[in-house]
Structure 1
Amino acid sequence: MKRRTLLLSIITLLLFSSNAWANEKESTSHIRSYDSGSLIQSDGSFWLWGYNQSVPTRVEGKSDVVKTFSNIINEGDLVFSLQDHSAWYVPRNNIAESVKFVPLEGLQNLAAVSSLNDHVLALSSEGSISYADRLDNGNISSPFQTLSGLDEVANIDSYYEERPDYEERWIFLKKDGSVWKNTKALQGFEPISSLKDITAIAKNIALKKDGTVWTWPKEFDKNVTPSETLSVSQIQALSGIKTIKADRYSNLAIDQQSRLWFWGATVTGSSDNTTYHNENTPVLLTGVKDVKDAFFVERSILALTTAGNVYVASLDGEKLSSNAPFTLLAKNIQSIKAGPRHVIMQKADGALWGWGVNKHAQLGIGDYEFLYSSPVPVQKPILVRLNGSPVPLSNGAITRNGQAFIPLRSVFDKLGAEIAYDFNSKIANMNQSKTEDHSVSLEVNFKTSQTKVNGKAVKLTNPPFMVNGIGYLPLRLLSETLGAKVDWIQKEDTIEITTK
């Protein structure tokens, strides 16, 4: 009887009560750390989004995550470590699959992860290197094996080297400032004797302690057999550099005066007609000042200033001039985490905002619009509890116009309701009939928004909707007249449903 009464009460809340959250002030952020596709709350709970999860969704059974590493294997993939120092992998390269968690055997005390072509390398906090093969589907094999001949490593990076075929090249920065490379595949390692007192590496560039930047070629004359010994040279235009960044085609540097430098490739065309135009001489970009950090994202440069402003400049064109225009993108930003095609930015108030490609819900906003050219707010993580216990959700709760919506099968499954969905008609039916005299039914047509309770049509102020095949119903907040109590605990971003 209690379950039947609660179900009817929740349906009543869904349909009739007023919008009680619309005038609520934004709650304080509870985010302890975040990445480009996941976050950890201050209570230790782990949330992720992207692919099947269009908004931040709480991960059950993984409440002791201490660190995450995103976009390591494929875009959207995630590696994370737990308090027990174990490492786990979340492959996200198949939109039809639910979230999977794969233990990475042989890894402990993870400090960094990098992948390229055939291999995945992992760096431990002690400075040792382990490796695993990449499978044909791009995922990681297991267990990891320790690489001999390398220790006291501080950082790793990788790039392709054309000699004349593409070779997998790994660079290792040791804690003593020396740089090492693999000789072929992962069969051997040797120091690059001309690189000493190095503080940072990025692809085929290295930053010395004295602020100079050094580089070596990635391409070689196909008619000449290249030597395995790297020919390292200083980039004369750069001095007093404190930060270097690089992707596969281009490079950035920030100097002691917080000025931004660029060299490498700009882009014209797309798909099979994409052309890269290389400029090896660094260009001082005068369109932005006081740069704190910078990123390459989806044919663009993003620059975060010390004042918390984010500016964007396009890499489209045959050349990037010194006075290339930078456009203000966002204000009050304290940090940025970048994926290959999008960024997640955290504002001073702790709120997360996304920008860029959203094809696979990378921005966590609750839809799959391909691109957002202006920043949009990442959906706040909302916990749903039933009688004090978290309700596992296939996808997180979504708020629209100050109102919460929950996935169709979430709370109703917990209450023992039978749920049926017709994919052709887009009609969902929920039935709870513990006794013959007290049955409850709810029918929702997601095409027309027509809704019936016990066979009677009702009018909805805010209709249900679907996101990526998941039906959402509005959960309103006011009535307690039928025995159920539904509260919005603002300071905890929690919906509390109580039957007691």
Structure 2
Amino acid sequence: MKRRTLLLSMIALLLFSSSAWAAEKESTSRIRSYDSGSLIQSDGSLWLWGYNQSVPTRVEGKANVVKTFSNIFNEGDLVFTLQDQSAWYVPRNNIAESVKFIPLEKVQNLAAVSGLNDHVLALSTEGNVYSADWHNNGDILDPFQTVAGIDEVANIDSYYEERPEYEEGWIFLKKDGSVWKNTKGLQGIKPISSLQDITAIAKNIALKKDGTVWTWPKEFDTNAALSDTATASQIQSLTGIQTIKSNGRTNLAIDRQGRLWFWGATVTGYSDSTAYHNENNPVLLTGVRNVKDAFIVERSILALTTEGNVYGASLEGEKLSSNAHFTLLAQNIQSIKAGPRHVIMQKTDGSLWGWGVNKHAQLGIGDYEFLYSTPVPVQKPILVRLNGTPVPLSNGVITRNGQAFIPLRSVFDKLGAEVSFDSNNKVAKIIQSRAGATPVSLQLNLKTSQTTVNGKPVELTNPPFTVNGIAYLPLRLISETLGAKVDWIQKEDTITITATTTTK
């Protein structure tokens, strides 16, 4: 009964969330593509969120973005390519650091990229593989060099092998359907026997054209003779498979009937008490049907069905039973992009929704709440223009109750105002002095929400606030108090500010 009540409550919450978003549902989405921490608008602009940016924030100076590749080393890492075929890496592993862009030199026509330890492998659309090494704790990346002994590659992946110490395992799916693997380091590359007509790879498993699934060891007995030649064996209970997924510990497969299979690790405990429990024989999960995609996220399995429903099941426990309970999480979902600890989902109306761990603002909703167990809407990417020119923002626009808030030091100084912030008392002051005009003085207390204009109290519909130490102020109130005109063109996701007095 408790489980049924919880499910009904969750469905009601989802319906309420959908109605809260309905005001903007009629607007046409301008998102051309998205990933677990980025999106590309139809104009080719790139928007990032996570770590320093709690909501989608426009990347300046990198126009005509074509494609993104996410989670290269850490959750949030990003590689993107431009129309000129150049590729750039964006490390996102420190909330105190600003966004930086590192060129991937000598790589053109990027098709895939994978990172492991201090090494990066890149794949071109022509099927060539390139490698580079990091130095100085990830601050310097060597120019890429061609990896000898392998070509005509369709995809690459990586994982760790224990033989008996951890070594890097790189696998290469060639366009002819064969699978190749590195020997120690990248000193040599050899084919994995028994693997032909392969259509997909995921860590140390491979899917054949005939729907069978094959695997090879990633852990080796310390007493056994070690060999650089891997031999694959078939997982006998899996047939008619069309999709495979793996995070290195847990594996999933979807068969041609839309059924979901699991094998590998479940987990118990936390921190130093974390323990993994392996199930080597695939288990058919009967709690979900018509599965078209599936993901392993944090300690959960997520399944997207052909009806557009998303269901979740926990991986916590010593064993995952065949009748494991799947809970309805979202509806009207057309696609999902997953990170290790969260997912971003796109609904049929084009809006993005996040679910999972949000410790580093992975969900792009404007806060750093650790976890969201029900989907929440990703903030819309909103462009701010001042007299027709885009305004660079260190953090994107946050909307609350239909009102737009922007970072303190983003626009107001460009309107000819002097801006200051007392971080101890959380008081923002904005003073504007213009020749022939009465000086304007605004003061906003982010602790008490008390706001004054020229010393007179002003009642705010929505109070100012801080996110990750950044003060957010109501755009319209302040801009219009400073003599500017503000228009929000919601169909274009754009706020325009028209002002007669600005500073460069």
> Could you state the TM-score of these two structures normalised by the residue count of structure 2?
0.92
Moved more, 24-33 or 135-144: 135-144
Q: Which one-letter code corresponds to 2:383 in the other structure?
A: L
1:140 Cα offset (Å): 6.1
1:234 aligns with: 234
1:70 aligns with: 70
Distance in 2, Cα, partners of 1:175 & 1:23: 47
CA contact (8 A) 1:216 1:230 kept: yes
**2:393 paired with 1:393:** yes
1:461 aligns with: 461
CA contact (8 A) 1:54 1:368 kept: yes
CA contact (8 A) 1:478 1:486 kept: no
2:356 aligns with: 356
List gaps (5 residues or longer) in structure 2: 1-20
Q: Which one-letter code corresponds to 1:83 in the other structure?
A: Q
Distance in 2, Cα, partners of 1:394 & 1:154: 38
1:456 Cα offset (Å): 2.6
1:97 aligns with: 97
Give the secondary-structure state (helix, strand or coil) at the position aligned to 2:225.
Answer: coil
Change (3 A) 1:139 1:200: farther
CA contact (8 A) 2:190 2:229 kept: no
Q: Deviations 1:384-406 (Å, cap 9, x if unpaired)?
A: 11111111111111111111111
CA contact (8 A) 2:415 2:499 kept: no
1:32 Cα offset (Å): 0.4
1:449 aligns with: 449
1:207 aligns with: 207
CA contact (8 A) 1:200 1:206 kept: yes
1:342 aligns with: 342
Change (3 A) 1:371 1:23: closer
Give the secondary-structure state (helix, strand or coil) at the position aligned to 2:141.
Answer: coil
Distance in 2, Cα, partners of 1:409 & 1:361: 21
CA contact (8 A) 1:386 1:498 kept: yes
**2:279 paired with 1:279:** yes
1:168 Cα offset (Å): 0.7
CA contact (8 A) 2:79 2:90 kept: yes
Distance in 1, Cα, partners of 2:88 & 2:221: 42
Change (3 A) 1:22 1:113: closer
Q: Which one-letter code corresponds to 1:32 in the other structure?
A: R
Distance in 2, Cα, partners of 1:437 & 1:210: 79
1:430 Cα offset (Å): 1.6
1:433 Cα offset (Å): 2.0
1:416 Cα offset (Å): 2.8
1:242 Cα offset (Å): 0.7
Give the secondary-structure state (helix, strand or coil) at the position aligned to 2:304.
Answer: strand
1:294 Cα offset (Å): 0.3
Moved more, 54-63 or 371-380: 54-63
Distance in 1, Cα, partners of 2:480 & 2:274: 60
Distance in 2, Cα, partners of 1:482 & 1:132: 51
1:320 aligns with: 320
Distance in 1, Cα, partners of 2:91 & 2:483: 43
Give the secondary-structure state (helix, strand or coil) at the position aligned to 2:430.
Answer: strand
Q: Which one-letter code corresponds to 1:48 in the other structure?
A: L
1:418 aligns with: 418
1:84 aligns with: 84
CA contact (8 A) 1:22 1:402 kept: no
Q: Deviations 1:427-458 (Å, cap 9, x if unpaired)?
A: 12122223386322211111111222223332
CA contact (8 A) 2:134 2:142 kept: no
Using CA pairs below 8 Å that are at least 6 residues apart, which structure has the higher relative contact order?
1
Give the secondary-structure state (helix, strand or coil) at the position aligned to 1:350.
Answer: coil
RMSD of aligned alpha carbons = 1.9
Change (3 A) 1:192 1:140: farther
2:379 aligns with: 379
2:173 aligns with: 173
Change (3 A) 1:236 1:484: same
Distance in 1, Cα, partners of 2:210 & 2:404: 54
1:38 aligns with: 38
Distance in 2, Cα, partners of 1:132 & 1:481: 53
Change (3 A) 1:238 1:84: same
CA contact (8 A) 1:477 1:486 kept: no
CA contact (8 A) 1:90 1:101 kept: yes
Instruction: Report % sequence identity.
Output: 80
Distance in 2, Cα, partners of 1:139 & 1:335: 34
Q: How many residues align?
A: 480
Distance in 1, Cα, partners of 2:376 & 2:427: 31
1:107 aligns with: 107
Q: Deviations 1:74-107 (Å, cap 9, x if unpaired)?
A: 1111110000000001111111111111111111
1:191 Cα offset (Å): 1.3
CA contact (8 A) 1:159 1:248 kept: yes
CA contact (8 A) 2:53 2:361 kept: yes
Distance in 2, Cα, partners of 1:245 & 1:24: 35
Distance in 2, Cα, partners of 1:228 & 1:405: 58
CA contact (8 A) 2:336 2:345 kept: yes
Distance in 2, Cα, partners of 1:23 & 1:130: 48
Change (3 A) 1:24 1:264: closer
Distance in 2, Cα, partners of 1:307 & 1:162: 41
Q: Which one-letter code corresponds to 2:277 in the other structure?
A: H
> Could you state the TM-score of these two structures normalised by the residue count of structure 1?
0.92
Distance in 2, Cα, partners of 1:26 & 1:50: 27
Distance in 2, Cα, partners of 1:140 & 1:162: 28
2:429 aligns with: 429
CA contact (8 A) 2:51 2:92 kept: yes
Q: Deviations 1:320-376 (Å, cap 9, x if unpaired)?
A: 111101110100000000000000000000000000000000000000000000000
